[in-house]
């Protein structure tokens, strides 16, 4: 079955770049997503990438996809304290319309 793995914690200094990594097992993944969850809130879609792309940039966010290694990353430039949250990687395979989520990476931004 599908499996999405993420490291649990990442700590960065304000102003630095953050890189959150994700690996997945389903080689038929078509879309991969990054969601953000702030304390006590639901998940907010940040960005997604289609599997035929290697990179997608959206303001401070850069998504890199390595299909060969089944590796997805989210880079946040100039990380701010407001970026502190849990970031979830999710993937959807061609045979499913339901995304599978990882356990989330807790990003802590300190001054």
Partner 1 sequence: ETGVTQSPTHLIKTRGQQVTLRCSSQSGHNTVSWYQQALGQGPQFIFQYYREEENGRGNFPPRFSGLQFPNYSSELNVNALELDDSALYLCASSFSGRPAGELFFGEGSRLTVL
101 binds partner 1 (CB under 8 A): yes
User: Of residues 10, 12, 43, 64, which one binds partner 1 by CB under 8 A?
Assistant: 43
Tokens of 104: 């989330």
Question: Mapping DSSP to helix (H, G, I), strand (E, B) and coil, where does residue 6 land?
Answer: strand
Residue 79 has φ and ψ, to the nearest 5°, of -60, 135
Q: What whole-number distance in Å separates Cα of residue 27 and Cα of residue 25?
A: 6
Between 65 and 104, whose beta carbon lies closer to partner 1? 104
Give yes or no for residue 31 binding partner 1 (CB under 8 A).
yes
Interaction of residue 103 with partner 1, rule CB under 8 A: yes
Paired strand residues for 20: 74
Q: Does residue 63 touch partner 1 according to CB under 8 A?
A: no
Smallest gap from residue 50 Cβ to partner 1 (A): 7
Q: Residue 100's CB: how many other CB atoms inside 10 A?
A: 18
**Under the rule (CB under 8 A), what is the footprint of partner 1?**
4, 31, 33, 35, 40-45, 48, 50, 88, 92, 96-104
């Amino acid at each position: 079955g599908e499996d999405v793995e993420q490291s649990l914690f990442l700590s960065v200094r304000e102003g630095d770049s953050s890189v959150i990594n994700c690996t997945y097992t389903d080689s038929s993944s078509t879309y991969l997503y990054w969601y953000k969850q702030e304390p006590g809130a639901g998940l907010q879609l940040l960005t997604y990438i289609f599997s035929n792309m290697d990179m997608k940039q959206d303001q401070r966010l850069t998504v890199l996809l390595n299909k060969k290694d089944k590796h997805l990353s989210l880079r946040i430039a100039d990380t701010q304290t407001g970026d502190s949250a849990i970031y979830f990687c999710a993937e959807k395979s061609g045979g499913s319309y339901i995304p599978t989520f990882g356990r989330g990476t807790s990003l802590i931004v300190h001054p």
